[in-house]
Structure formats: C-alpha cells, structure tokens
C-alpha cells in the first residue's frame, strides 16, 4: 500500500481559543512494503501525524492519500499499535488476538484459526489460553502486534510500541519486529524517540523539527543491510548524522 501525505498541517485550539500549531506543511510519500521511522524532539507532532494517518484525527489543512484515494476516516487497511498494549484483561490471549475479527463478523471457527496463525508468527502459540496479566511486557506487545496483523491490514502504524520496555527486551522486540516485517511485507510507519532504534529498523528515517513539526530531512538507511550490525561503520555514521539533525534546532525550511 502506498501512502501520500500532501501539504498537511494541524492546529489545535485550546479552551481559551489559543491556536497551537502541531504540524506544518508535511509532504511525504511512503512506498509499498517500506519500513519508515518518524523521529523528532518531544512534542513535535509525531503521534499527531500517526493519528491523522490512522483516521483518528483530522488535519486542519492537507490530505492523506491511500493508493491515490483521499483518506476520510479510519480504514480497515490501516491498523495502529500503541505503546499501551490495550489488551482486554478478561479475555485469553487467543480471544484478544481474535477480537478485531469478531468485530468484522468472522465466524468463531475462522477467527480462531486466523488468530492462531498470527500467534504462531509472533511465537506465542503455547500461551493462547493465558491471560494478559500472566505475560511479560514484551509478550503483551507481541500479542498487540498479532492482533493488529490478524485483520490483515496493508499498513501498520506503531506509536513508540517498545517505549515502556527495558533495554534488553526492547532490543529483542526490534529484532522480532524486523523478522515479522520480512515475513509479512507490510508497510510500517514507526514513531520512536530512539535514534538507535530508528537506524536499526528503518528503510528511511523522517526527522521532524521542533513544534510545529516540519520535515527537516529524510535520511535513507538502505545502504546499511539487514540484519544490521550496530557497530558497523555505516550504522554509526547514519546514527551520528540523525543525532546532529535532531540537536541542530529547527530549520527555516523543509529538507525534502
């Protein structure tokens, strides 16, 4: 699935009538099967951009196009995964993964078969009868990934999904997500605060300025082949360049 963001801006209005610009003049194309990371200072509008793409919020100006058609609200072709796992504590892991399929009206037999397929993909087949409280944070996030994949969207939007995990689990989840991406070939937009995480995962990194968020630069990472070695020269050089972009301050214009 190809996503195109055209001249997108977002302004929030406070209770006192104050206008707070969050995003300004975003232009970006996300290619089919691409893994794109969005990076920038806190408060620069990364999550707002993802919510607009998901159809959970509306732009003040501009548009989102999916395969050439204007997106006017939530789409079954796009699934979003949040930092909070948002699993139902009273449902088993299997029934949590099957929930979206239940909403879509699939028969119980079909939805459980599909849910088991994606639990196997994320390595949690033996936990299908468990409840969320019995799983670690990393395992719960894998359940969230399986639940999103079960509805078979064309694109996944991921809003700092590993932000609450410890460093060791986070590194493991990054590797597992990369493997899942290679197997499913979904288009993925991944918001993160971590430069290291972005360089490890992405085909390209979109670096936003401070608020209002604008595209400062789009950094290609494809020359650093998968599986990526965090100590290799290309990785270190790209990481240093992205860090420089983030710490250099906001530019006067976008680098597209």
Provide block-wise average pLDDT over 10 residues at a time, the chain (256 residues).
95 93 96 95 93 95 94 91 87 96 93 96 95 94 94 95 89 92 94 95 96 96 79 92 83 40
Domain ranges within the chain, ordered by starting residue = 1-77+158-256, 84-152
* C-alpha torsion sign, points 86, 91, 97, 98: negative
Could you report the per-residue pLDDT of 212-252, keeping only the tens digit for each?
999 999 999 977 777 788 888 899 999 999 999 988 754 44
Q: What is the dihedral of CA 12, 190, 207, 75, to 10 degrees?
A: -50
CATH class of residue range 1-77+158-256:
alpha beta
pTM over 0.85: yes
Q: With contact defined as beta carbons under 8 Å apart, do 250 and 216 qualify?
A: yes
């Amino acid at each position: 699935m190809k996503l195109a963001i055209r001249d997108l801006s977002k302004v929030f209005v406070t209770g006192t009538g104050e206008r707070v610009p969050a995003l300004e003049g975003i232009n970006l194309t996300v290619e089919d099967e691409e893994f794109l990371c969005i990076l920038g200072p806190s408060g620069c509008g990364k999550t707002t951009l993802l919510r607009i793409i998901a159809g959970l919020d509306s732009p003040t100006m501009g548009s989102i196009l999916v395969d050439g058609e204007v997106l006017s609200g939530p789409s079954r072709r796009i699934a979003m995964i949040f930092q909070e796992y948002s699993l139902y504590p009273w449902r088993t892991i299997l029934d949590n993964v099957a929930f979206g399929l239940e909403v879509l009206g699939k028969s119980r037999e079909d939805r459980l078969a599909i849910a088991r397929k994606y639990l196997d993909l994320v390595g949690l087949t033996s936990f299908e009868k468990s409840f969320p409280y019995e799983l670690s944070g990393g395992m719960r996030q894998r359940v969230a990934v399986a639940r999103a994949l079960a509805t078979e969207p064309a694109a996944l939007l991921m809003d700092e999904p590993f932000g609450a995990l410890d460093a060791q689990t986070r590194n493991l989840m990054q590797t597992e997500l990369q493997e899942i991406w290679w197997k499913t070939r979904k288009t993925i937009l991944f918001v993160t605060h971590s430069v290291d995480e972005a360089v490890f995962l992405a085909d390209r990194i979109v670096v936003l300025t401070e608020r209002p968020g604008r595209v400062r630069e789009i950094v290609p990472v494809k020359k650093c082949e998968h599986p990526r070695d965090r100590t290799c020269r290309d990785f270190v050089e790209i990481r240093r360049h992205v860090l420089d972009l983030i710490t250099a301050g906001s530019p006067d214009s976008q680098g597209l």
